[in-house]
Amino acid sequence: FGMAAVGGDQEGLERDLDEGLEGGSPSASKMSDALKSSAPPPAPVLARAPLNLRVLQQSWTVSAHESEVFCVRFSSDNTLVAAGLANGQVKIYQGQTGRLAYQLSTTDQNLPTTCMRFRPASAATKTRNVLLAATAEGSIQHWHVTSGKCLHTIEEKDNQVFAIDYKGDGSKFATAGKDYTVRIYDEATKSRIAELSSGFTKKHPGHSNRVFSLRFHPTDENVLLSAGWDNTIQMWDLRTEGSVRSIWGPHICGDSVDISGNDVVSGSWRPTEQLQLWDYRSGELIANVPWQDSVEPCLLYTAQFSPSGTYIAAGGTGANEVRLFKRTTLEPIGALKLHRGAYSLDFSADSQMIAIAGGDSSARVVAVA
């Protein structure tokens, strides 16, 4: 998801957009240069994946989009699925049927909607169905989906926002992107309360390249994970506003870092050792999860634990597929082959469905079981 620079000419914007999103475009060669950086430490490799993977059954597919689908997200009650498009539109579908329910427009410049989160239902507010959407022009917007109204807009000057995430109780949200800085906002006031970065005046390490994934720790309110092009996952302590631990190796180009219990999963945009499991407490590599038996390698843009903790799902380009793994054994138990790459996925809250954003301009939902 290398997005365009804000404020430049249109040619520059489009050139910058092409840097990180490969789906049959010439950006693959640019990305491959960035992938020749540091390699992860050795780890045990599991047994070869079986050939006869179960095909994940599609509940519904919507393919009549004007552009590629960059991101998808379930609402907390599973009734809605939001799909963010490369032209800046957000389309909201009924979770069970795929019927179009609402449509939003985040930009008038036709720049991508890069990432989205529904505000957690536990947030201390009476307003429900609030969607946080970010764009490649550096804006973060709060939308009331059912009324179609934009409630608030934050502009991050000279930045492009590639990653956002809510704290579990909805009281704070984080943003990150092109300028290497992670920002923390208060949900009630929409004011910025912290900036997490490295620098000459900082005592802590930080990011040295674009950030594409953010994840608040599900049980520790003081911890936030971030990752991107610099081949690191940073673990931030919000009390000290510094990185207290780093994981070295993953090359993150999308929303592909997640945490469940003491396990961190990472999905890297590279042809080998792309899906990995890490120990949150030590930062050590637990295992490389093999992506075997594909005609060509799958370079991952997205990876996620199921809310139940039972499964891991991941997908990307190259092999253009999504795979479902059993968490306890890390064995693949299902797969879906796509015409073009998978850029984003999201489990439903009950872990029974997976929404998938595709480079074939489709949004789809598949059944887990």
Taking only the tens place, the pLDDT of each residue in 329-363 is 999 999 999 999 999 999 999 999 999 999 999 99
Residue 369 has pLDDT above 70, yes or no: yes
* pLDDT score, position 252: 98
Residue 222 has pLDDT above 80, yes or no: yes
Taking only the tens place, the pLDDT of each residue in 8-57 is 333 443 334 334 433 333 333 333 333 333 344 444 444 344 457 899 99
201 band by pLDDT with thresholds 50, 70 and 90: low
* pLDDT score, position 106: 85
Residue 169 has pLDDT above 90, yes or no: yes
202 band by pLDDT with thresholds 50, 70 and 90: low
Residue 3 has pLDDT above 70, yes or no: no
**What is the average pLDDT score of the chain?**
87
Closest C-alpha among 38, 40, 47, 46 to residue 273: 40
Give the Cα separation of 204 and 237 in Å (integer).
11
Instruction: Note the helical H segments in 259-335.
Output: none
Read off the pLDDT of each residue in 302-315 and give the average, rounded to a whole number. 98
Taking only the tens place, the pLDDT of each residue in 46-94 is 434 445 789 999 999 999 788 999 999 999 999 999 999 999 999 999 9
Residue 283 has pLDDT above 50, yes or no: yes
In DSSP terms, 344 is beta-bridged to 357
Q: Is the pLDDT higher at 3 or at 282?
A: 282
* pLDDT score, position 199: 59
137 band by pLDDT with thresholds 50, 70 and 90: very high
Write the single-letter amino acid at 57: Q
Tokens of 334: 């299902």
3-state helix, strand, coil in the chain (%, to 5): 5, 45, 50
Question: What is the SS3 assignment for the chain?
Answer: CCCCCCCCCHHHHHHHHCCCCCCCCCHHHHHHHHCCCCCCCCCCECCCCCCCCCECCEEEEECCCCCCEEEEEECCCCCEEEEEECCCEEEEEECCCCCEEEEEECCCCCCCEEEEEECCCCCCCCCCCEEEEEECCCEEEEEECCCCEEEEEEECCCCCEEEEEECCCCCEEEEEECCCCEEEEECCCCCEEEEECCCCCCCCCCCCCCEEEEEECCCCCCEEEEEECCCEEEEEECCCCEEEEEEECCCCCCCCEEEECCEEEEECCCCCCCEEEEECCCCCEEEEECCCCCCCCEEEEEEEECCCCCEEEEEEEECCEEEEEECCCCCEEEEEECCCCEEEEEECCCCCEEEEEECCCCEEEEECC
What is the value of pTM for the model shown?
0.85
* pLDDT score, position 205: 83
How big is the CA angle at 90 (ends 135 and 319), to the nearest 5 degrees? 80
The least confident of 195-204, 229-238, 281-290, 291-300 is 195-204
